[in-house]
Structure 1
């Protein structure tokens, strides 16, 4: 089979396509014949290397993660043989491959007929988008600020906020094309957060402040966002694309504001039953057409470097997919 790894840190060109034997699932794991692989931005950061004081540290050889959709073809010891033949979605390491090993306990069943783009969101991206809204205790009528709203998590979070009853959704992005996309997926207001005056644009749209901030950018964007929170406003931080984890200014929190961190792995460990229910809930939303994924591009596995170039340039709208058997 073919897979993609990298053996040195650097640009997309370090991604190497190689021929290897298919992996054998260990205890509690399954082998999945991959139909589609959702590319995640964080892996472009790991590929570049840790750098000086960087938070994105992963040893070589690099095994990119991904949101894999496919069919279970084999199970390891202790895994249910009835899983064989099931179409599933899963977050996996060494995901850029024709066959992928995944944990049997965190397979998401894919509803019949669901498009690979939508199905890929059941592995990680969709559960994150839903849970960060609930971690923020979003209520009906709330004003919600979604950063990086044109990305995979962001464009789902905009839609989900509306489905959950948000009054006003403000989405940020970095170009006029992305701002148009953010509005198209349901945002009431779209703001270019590359502009130095972007906080003033948010204040104009929400003079009393925002109730919820969803942020995976970090750095100065997070710091400015805290100042935009209304009394009793809640920020949920679920990443730091800039690599900059500034210290949160405690003085900003004295104005009855709060900040919560979120990590999907920790959530699944601490609340597994609820995490599974929410994945099923998302599957129902996708199956009914109430939630939709925009797929920016579908590329053959051999063009993984092109996928990373797109992610590095942040030119994508929604999801970037690799198709291993194309």
Structure 2
């Protein structure tokens, strides 16, 4: 099979497609022939060696989200799984490949009517958006500021917040991205690459600030988002697009009357994570949650996909198609 290998940290060009022996499913595993493979921003940070987390030992095949068809099962696995369309995480690596062996406990059947590509778009990003929506609990009439608004997670979170009756202000880095966010339900948009964007948020909310801010950017943008939360509001940081997470001291938040919401509260157990993933795919099949599949690349162009993401030139979810 073909697989994309990361053998050294560096620019996108270090990702190389190589002929690789097919994985063999072990005890409790299934072998998935992939039809769509998800790419995350964090994976581009890992590739470059700049991720705000411990880096893996190399070499690895990157990738943690796939959809496809089970083509073989290992010992101890129900043979009825063979031939089923499934989506699955991989445990962290192995996804950028034509085939991947994963624990059978990780696979989720893809509901009828849901495309492989949409299943990948919902698997990780959908469960993240659902988990965030649960813990921030947007209410009817509340102002909710959502950063990186055209990303996979945020574009789904916008849909969930507006469904709850909240009024969403999308924050992103271009007019195109803001237009996408507004097509998903955002009421207003601000370009946070432009001076005065925070003041614009205050203007939209009549000078009051927002009830909830969800920050995937970190850095100065995350700090500004926190300062836009009014007394009695909630703040959640869930990414490090700038290279570092937004860290707010509890004492500072308490002094402003702002509740800090943690991502840990959204995913209290492995069982909760799986339940959110199942829900995300079901919501997609019912057309109540629509992922944005902004661009796809063939497997051999994984480097181009990473380059596009690093340049912030993508919308929604970016996929590899083996």
Q: Provide TM-score, normalisation by structure 2.
A: 0.92
Unaligned runs of 5+ in 2: none
Pair 189,12 (structure 1): closer, same or farther in 2 beyond 3 Å: same
Is the alpha carbon distance of 1:62 and 1:253 closer, same or farther for their aligned partners in structure 2, counting shifts above 3 Å?
farther
Which has the larger displacement, 122-131 or 255-264?
Answer: 255-264
**Post-superposition shift, 1:263?**
5.5
| Alpha-carbon contact 1:47-1:62 (below 8 Å) kept | no
What's the counterpart of residue 108 of structure 1? 108
Question: How far apart, in 1, do the equivalents of 2:245 and 2:314 lie?
Answer: 24
Q: Is the 1:89–1:122 Cα contact (8 Å) retained in structure 2? A: no
1:174 match: 173
* In structure 2, distance between residues paired with 1:281 and 1:69: 16
Give the secondary-structure state (helix, strand or coil) at the position aligned to 1:305.
helix
Residues 34-113 of structure 1: matches in 2 within 5 Å? Answer: 34-50=34-50, 54-55=52-53, 57-92=55-90, 93-113=93-113
* Structure 1 gap segments, 5+ residues each: none
> Residue 144 of structure 2 aligns with which residue?
144
Residues 113-128 of structure 1 mapped to structure 2, 5 A cutoff: 113-128=113-128
Q: Provide Cα deviations, 1:252-309, integer angstroms capped at 9, x if missing partner.
A: 4312112223169x92xx4344444433332232112222122222221111111111
Contact 1:183 1:190 (C-alpha < 8 Å) held by counterparts? yes
1:157-172 equivalences under 5 Å are 157-166=157-166, 168-172=167-171
Q: Distance in 2 between matches of 1:187 and 1:98?
A: 37
In 1, Cα distance between equivalents of 2:28 and 2:215: 34
RMSD: 2.0
- C-alpha separation between the residues in 2 aligned to 1:262 and 1:25? 33
Aligned position for 2:25: 25
Give the Cα–Cα distance (whole angstroms) in 1 for the partners of residues 72 and 305 of structure 2: 29
What does residue 259 of structure 2 align with?
A: 258
Q: Secondary structure, in 3 states, of the residue corresponding to 1:4? A: strand
Q: How far does the alpha carbon of each residue in 1:97-137 deviate from its partner, in whole angstroms, 9 at most, with x for none?
A: 00012232222221113123311133211000111111112
Q: Indicate how the Cα distance of structure 1 residues 322 and 247 shifts in structure 2: closer, same or farther if over 3 A, else same.
A: closer
Helix, strand or coil: the match of 1:121?
helix
Shift of 1:246: 5.0
Query: Does the C-alpha gap of structure 1 residues 80 and 233 become closer, same or farther in structure 2, counting only changes over 3 Å?
Result: farther
Distance change >3 Å, CA 98–CA 317, structure 1 → 2: same
